[in-house]
């Protein structure tokens, strides 16, 4: 992917509990965490896949909306 290319793929994450973590994983050979954002109940994060971010991991209870539909993550 071009260095400055960002996709149009927005992902909406709404925390349904306190302490939901939205974790960005790096693009490329090396897949590692590069950012972790903590959301409290009711908070919303709107994120994109970028040249830095190839995957997003969500820990905790949340509603996730993307172009592929809606999914709910759960707590342990």
Q: Interface with ligand TRP by CB under 6 A: which residues?
A: 22, 24, 35, 37, 47-48, 50, 52-53, 56
Residue 16 or 45: the one with the smaller Cβ distance to ligand TRP is 45
Sign of CA dihedral 6, 9, 12, 13: negative
Q: Taking the complex as a whole, how short is the minimal distance between the CB of residue 27 and ligand TRP, in angstroms? A: 8
- Number of other residues whose CB lies within 10 A of the CB of residue 67: 9
Residue 18 or 37: the one with the smaller Cβ distance to ligand TRP is 37
The 3-state DSSP class for residue 74 equals coil
């Amino acid at each position: 992917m071009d260095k400055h290319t960002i996709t149009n793929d927005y992902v909406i994450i709404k925390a349904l509990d306190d302490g939901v973590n939205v974790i960005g994983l790096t693009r490329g050979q090396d897949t590692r965490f590069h950012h972790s954002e903590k959301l409290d109940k009711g908070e919303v994060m709107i994120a994109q896949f970028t040249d830095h971010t190839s995957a997003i991991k969500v820990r905790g209870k949340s509603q996730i909306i993307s172009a592929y539909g809606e999914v709910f993550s759960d707590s342990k």
